[in-house]
Amino acid sequence: MKNLWNDGDAEKLVADYAERGVSRDLALRVYTTRLLGGEPRLVLHGGGNTSCKTKATDLVGDEWDVLCVKGSGWDMGVIEPQGLPAVKLGALLKARSLKKLSDEDMVALQRANLIDPSSPNPSVETLLHAFLPHKFVDHTHSTAILAIVDQDDSEALSEKVFGSKMGYVPYIMPGFDLAKAAADVFEADPTVEGLILDKHGIFTFGDDAKQAYDRMIHYVNVAEDFIGRHGKPRTEKAVLPARLATAADLAPMLRGAVAVARGEGRFDRMISDFRTSDAIVDFINSARIADYAGRGVSTPDLSIRIKTGPMALPAPDLAKIGDYKSVIRSHVEAFAKDYRAYFESNDGLDDIKRTMLDPMPRLTLVPGLGMFGHGRTLKDARIASDVGEMWIEAVRGAEAVGDFRPLSKADLFPLEYWSLEQAKLASNKPKPLTGQVVLVTGGAGAIGAATAKLFADNGAHAVIVDLDATKAAEAARKAGNNSIGIGTDITDPGEMRAAFDKAVAVFGGVDILVSNAGAAWEGRIGELDDATLRKSFELNFFAHQSAAQNAVRIMLEQGTGGVLLFNTSKQAVNPGPKFGAYGIPKAATLFLSRQYALDYGAHGIRSNAVNADRIRSGLLTDAMIASRSGARGVSEKEYMSGNLLGQEVTAQDVAQAFLHHALAERTTADVTTVDGGNIAAALR
């Protein structure tokens, strides 16, 4: 591993922060923390922590000796000074004389002694940093170090690798007891330059930021060099089918299998992130991959990301792909059953009241293909995949020098179900559409963009499909929540299929279709040429059918139901003069929505329509408004507000109707009118 310290960069950061009143100590602490946090083989997504002992002034001007330590929720790779809250050091040191200190009291002690009361909670390992006397302390979960400590004989192996330069601390769950034990190990031999924590990671320390950082990189390199020199031959490879199915074949099946059933056709869905590389495939093609996966996580911190460890599937044979859905479901059921047993057996050991987390895997390994990370959001799914890559590296290293034996699941349980994590989970309320994927056609137009934004605001990831790729991308950016835009001619069945395949590739599947795209042609029906009418049918009917077919194809593979929503326009039931080329295919689309409700209701797929009228959009342009108002002999304002409420209806109003249908779990074959009130267009 390369040492990235650069004197020039360090001094520049010190100077930049000095202008903002940040001390040299804290600026250098930020600098090396970012160096460590930018290397995934050391820390991932909030893991690891660093500290420095310095001085700080409180709100009334009193100066204190403090420990600036990484705060909860901060990523080391992008940390700022406020991500290292200052805690009064004297109170922390006094705590060492206590015989015991609960996690809740430890957090209260740390918060009570913050210089800035608005700071984030200091790290759970704050006391360990405090009890070590050095000015700078670094802690990471290096995969190379984990390869050494994830062994049955980890203490002897650590002595062989590091000699007397590193202290060894037997596994203890992070918190007060670990802090005291680590300090005792250091004081037994104050010449050590760091501590190796069994099944956990590494601490290094120094009198300045550079020394602590240099030591971290040095001892990680010692571990990497040892693995490189003493690595044994790789294990036997599994026999793969002659023709493998693809990730696209598997993704909807797998995503449906890991959805959490809530009864009565309701599901908490997951987003899936597929990840592959030569290194990933080479490792998971091992004949022992299921064994490795069953042993657990490489460091306990990963349990909040991938639970008790990955799930391994058999390689998917393309010739038997029709049977593979049941193979996936049987493996998921087995994983969930084992997880429930893990929870029940460990939860019953004391009287603490806990809420079991959902039992679904968060990382799935597929020989020959790669791996899928699962999460309630795309961010969580990607984190699971990132963790999976580092899990592979740690296990590969452990197997190279010995036998991968991580922390037992019984010892893992107290950390996964740490009381403070439980409190966080209880307060974390998902949004109504969290975990769901919506595909919106005509997504860059007024109604489509408003709908995509509203759905994203309610937790969904949006796939915005539009003929103009640039506008689709911009609409996705405005929608937020990792939405994507795709340029697509929806009248081309091949391009429509590709858009849905892209949704599967990025998110794992599709749960909601908003088939919204359309365009209008004017003229008396008897005077229209066939080409114009056929062109309108291609866009205003057949494109809706194509979108629905693709959505249903994916929804049936997922097996978790879904929602088809069609923008059919009031023209479907209340035609306007010279608007037949638009209204006739829209009428067909309205009945198309009902046919889907009829044919696929038994599969939990709902189908509804929204009849909107007079919405300013790419279809109803200023020129069209002038034309239509003229045809009716009214002013433009009267035309746009010509309804029972006397108010103009907006794209946001239509978006609200689509959202209503997405959430109305017991409504199908319905038509909702969004026009401010038009008795002639009322269906009932």
- Exactly one of 342, 417, 582, 639 is catalytic; name it: 582
Q: Burial of 62 by CB count in 10 Å (0-12 exposed, 13-18 middle, 19+ buried)?
A: exposed
Residue 439 near residue 490, CB atoms below 8 Å? no
* CB of 430 closer than 8 Å to CB of 375: no
Q: Collapsing DSSP states into helix, strand and coil, what is residue 513? A: strand
Instruction: Report how far Cα 445 is from the mean position of its chain's Cα atoms.
Output: 28
Kindly state the helix (H) or strand (E) to which residue 56 belongs, with its residue range: strand 49-57
Question: Is 600 designated active site?
Answer: no
Phi, psi of 115 (to 5 degrees): -70, -40
Distance CA 380, CA 435 (A): 10
Measured in degrees and rounded to the nearest 5, phi and psi for residue 260 equal -90, 115
* Structure-token pair, residue 664: 């109305």
| 89: amino acid identity, one letter | L
Cα gap 444→18, rounded to integer Å? 46
Q: For residue 297, what is the DSSP state?
A: -
Strand partners, 568: none
d(CA 493, CA 138): 56
- Taking CB atoms within 8 Å and a gap of at least 24, the contacts of 34-37 are 34/76, 34/77, 34/78, 34/79, 35/4, 35/5, 35/213, 36/76, 36/138, 36/140, 36/213, 36/216, 37/75, 37/76, 37/77, 37/78, 37/79
- Strands 484-487 and 512-515, bridge-based pairing: unpaired
Q: Are 449 and 438 in contact (CB under 8 A)?
A: no
Q: Helix, strand, coil shares of the chain as percentages rounded to 5?
A: 50, 15, 35
Cα angle: 559, vertex 563, 564; to 5 degrees? 120
H-assigned helices in 402-444:
409-416, 419-427
Task: List the one residue out of 499, 583, 483 whose CA is nearest residue 549.
Answer: 499
Question: Tokens at residue 109, please?
Answer: 């002690």
Whether 537 and 552 have beta carbons less than 8 Å apart is answered as: no
- Enter the tokens of residue 159: 């002595």
Catalytic residues: 582
